[in-house]
Amino acid sequence: MTAYDDQNIYAKILRGELPAERVYEDDETLVIMDIMPRSDGHCLVLPKTPARNVLDAPTDMLAAVSRTTQIMARAVLQAFNADGVTIQQFNEAAGGQVVFHLHVHVIPRFDGIKLGPHTGKMEDGAVLKVNADKIRAAVGT
């Protein structure tokens, strides 16, 4: 397996070198809005310490990421009055991983509405902020 690359985009966000719409944070994890969302409210759970993916992550890191993923799943359901939630996590290029820092996608879902494509089109920052505000409010309740 390839070694962790500390120049990946999520590592840079975690170090404050790149901007991101931050939604939630605790001692071990950070949640940011996905800049190319597949649904309104699509966010990403990141561990704060380096791990390429689930294959090299320590079990305590996975536990922290899982706890935050559950918090976010409940929050996006409430914030967007969603009917369900899709949770995705990819490992290595053949498994669909594009950014090689462990992360979990939390995507609100709605009956009868297909998941949007991952087109590479960036969402407007103002829209991401509005959606992040909704999630932050739900986490606070």
> Active-site positions?
103
Specify whether the CB–CB gap between 31 and 68 falls below 8 A: yes
Specify whether the CB–CB gap between 92 and 43 falls below 8 A: no
Start-end of H helices in the chain = 9-14, 59-79, 125-139
Q: Which of 58, 69, 54, 63 is nearest to 23 (CA)?
A: 69
Helices 125-139, 59-79: axis angle to 10 degrees equals: 100
Instruction: Provide the 3-class DSSP secondary structure of residue 75.
Output: helix
Instruction: Provide the 3-class DSSP secondary structure of residue 41.
Output: coil
CA distance 100 to 98: 6
